[in-house]
Amino acid sequence: MTKNENTSLHTEAAPAVSACFGEFQQQAEISSSETTRMGVYQFQLQPFRAAKGMVMEVEREGQHIISAHLPASFSRGVMRSASIHIRGAEYLLLAASSASRMLAHSKRWFAMFRADGKKIYATSLEQHVARVLPMEDGVSLLFMNGDSMRIKL
C-alpha cells in the first residue's frame, strides 16, 4: 500500500507533529509498514524487533540513501517528513514523536539529511518541538517551553 503526501493524521500526538512542519510546502506523514511518497522521496518504516525500535529506509529517485534506526520510544509514534532548499541545496527533515499521549512527556527525534542521504544532524530531544521554521541559512526549532535552537548550514 502506498500513501501520498499531506495525508490526515489520526492520533492525539498527530496535530503536534503536523504543526511542526506547518511552514513547509512539501511534507508527508510516514506510517509503519506502509510505503509513503513525498515528491522524489519514498519512505518505509519497519519494526526492528532486536532493538524494539524502528528502522526507516529512504529512497530518492529509486536509489537507497538512508537507513536510520529510531529508538524504541518512537516505535509507535507519529513521523513526518519535509524538504527544504537552502542556498540551492535540498535537505530532508524528519521528526518523530514518542508514543506518549501526554504532550508534556512527549519526546521528539529530529534529523536533517542532505538530498544524497548524508546525515547533517540526528538526535532524540528531551523537549517537545512545537515548530520547525525554514530560514535562509538553515532551520530554527522552537520548543514548547519557549527555548529555541538554530541549525545553520
Closest by CA position to 33, among listed 41, 43, 23, 21: 43
The per-residue pLDDT string of the chain (153 residues; one tens digit each, 9 = 90 and over) reads: 444 444 333 333 344 445 788 889 899 988 877 899 999 999 998 877 766 778 889 999 999 999 988 877 776 666 899 999 999 999 999 988 776 655 555 678 899 999 999 999 999 888 878 899 999 999 999 988 889 999 999
Give me the residue label for grid cell 529509486: 62
How far, in Å, CA of 17 to CA of 97, rounded?
7
pLDDT computed for residue 64 by the predictor? 97
Q: Which of 98, 122, 123, 97 is nearest to 112 (CA)?
A: 122
